[in-house]
């Protein structure tokens, strides 16, 4: 594990996040955590926590996602049953988010919390 706290800290409902597919951040991810189509990534309405990672864990509508999209955390859904407890595994926690006007689920490793500057802007 890379020790990157930006993708391990807990997120809270209402928190703004930026979606990432950065290879430097995701380099230690050992499983498929998003879908990919020729020109874009996709998240799905639901991720099956009781069986992930297996061959049929994503279902519902596909939501088109691009690196840098902004989303709002709705709630933490939990951690897949096959993933151990502990902060180092928080990258696999699943959250429900509102993105591009749609609700979907994604793994914590794709979510970078946005910070606010003293001038009131978002970074």
pLDDT of 26-71, one tens digit each? 777 778 888 889 899 999 999 999 988 888 899 999 999 999 999 9
Burial class for 65, CB neighbours closer than 10 Å (0-12, 13-18, 19+): buried
Task: Give percent of the chain with pLDDT exceeding 90.
Answer: 56
Going from N- to C-terminal start, the domains of the chain cover 5-113
pTM: 0.86
The more confident residue out of 11 and 23 is 11
Residue 1: is its pLDDT beyond 70? no
Secondary structure letter of residue 122 according to DSSP: B
Give buried/exposed letters for 9-24 (b at 16+ CB in 10 A, else e): eebeeebebbbbbeee
Which run of H or of E encompasses 78? strand 70-78
CA distance 71 to 46: 16
**What does the H/E/C string look like for 19-51?**
ECCCHHHHCCCCCCCCEEECCEEEEEEEECCCC
pLDDT at 61: 95
pLDDT at 8: 73
């Amino acid at each position: 594990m890379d020790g990157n706290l930006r993708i391990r800290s807990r997120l809270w409902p209402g928190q703004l996040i930026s979606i990432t597919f950065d290879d430097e951040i995701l380099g230690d991810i050992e499983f498929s955590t998003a879908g990919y189509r020729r020109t874009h990534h996709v998240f799905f309405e639901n991720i099956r926590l009781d069986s992930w990672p297996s061959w049929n864990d994503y279902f519902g509508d596909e939501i088109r996602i691009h690196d840098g999209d902004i989303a709002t955390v709705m709630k933490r859904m939990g951690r897949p049953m096959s993933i151990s407890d502990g902060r180092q595994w928080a990258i696999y926690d699943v959250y429900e988010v509102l993105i591009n006007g749609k609700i979907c689920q994604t793994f914590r490793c794709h979510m970078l919390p946005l910070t606010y500057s003293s001038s009131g802007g978002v970074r």
